[in-house]
Amino acid sequence: MSIRENIKEVLISEEQIRNRCKELGEEITRDYGEAGVTPLVIGLLRGSVPFLSELIKYIDLDLQYDFMDVTSYEGTKSTGDIKILKDLDTSVVGKHILIVEDIVDTGRTLTAVVDLFKKREAADVKIVSLLNKPSRRVMRIEPDYNGFDIEDYFVVGYGLDFNQHYRGLPYVGILNDDQY
Ligand code: IMP
Ligand code: MG
């Protein structure tokens, strides 16, 4: 059985994502180009992988990339502590960091990761997210570059999972209600 049968609605198509990645990549190229700096692109595992792969095709800069895996502790509202499951292999000292995330939800994960890189003496920390759910925000943080604002749906595909499934779908979709 195809897992695509469990998708109620395609919210954002493969083509829409590709077009938006092109726009974001051009914007990033322009901004960093004008500043005369090259970004260290940091993908947050595992959800950011398809987005990072598509996005970097359109960033015409001598960039480097690395990955990090973190989980946010639920319930620690104010501090946004994270546990590092896999750390970077690259130093961030003096680097212009561009964090790539699949979705900004409460904002806890990104708040903690941004704080961490600042503490580690990065020159600058910016965020690019494929999706953004502004209505769910708990922390005061916004992506510097954002693909799409979405309503408070639980979405899967293009890296986003439900219990580790559906990450491979080429689009962002909404699950059938009977899948929860
Ligand atoms: P935050 O710390 O609440 O912003 O957490 C964001 C993380 O929660 C993302 O990196 C995703 O892994 C996960 N997440 C939030 N919303 C969704 C969703 O609709 N589908 C799948 N994962 C989600
Ligand atoms: Mg995540």
Ordered DSSP codes for 81-129: -EEEEE--SS--TT-EEEEEEEEESSSHHHHHHHHHHHHTT-SEEEEEE
d(CA 162, CA 180): 9
For residue 44, give the ligand 1 atom closest to its CA. Answer: 10
Q: Say which residue the tokens 């704080």 belong to.
A: 115
161 C-alpha to center of ligand 1: Å?
Answer: 9
Q: Is 73 in the pocket of ligand 1 (CB under 6 A)?
A: no
Report pTM: 0.95
The domain defined by 14-150 folds into Rossmann fold (3.40.50)
| Amino acid 73: pLDDT | 67
Q: Is 80 in the pocket of ligand 1 (CB under 6 A)?
A: no
Lowest mean pLDDT among 55-64, 73-82, 127-136, 156-165: 73-82
**Residue 66: which residues within 8 A CB-CB, separation 6 or more?**
40, 41, 42, 43, 88, 89, 90
For the residues 29-57, what does the mean pLDDT come to?
98
d(CA 78, CA 82): 12
Taking 70 as the threshold, does the pLDDT of residue 7 lie above it?
yes
d(CA 47, CA 33): 27
Mean pLDDT rounded to a whole number for the chain:
94
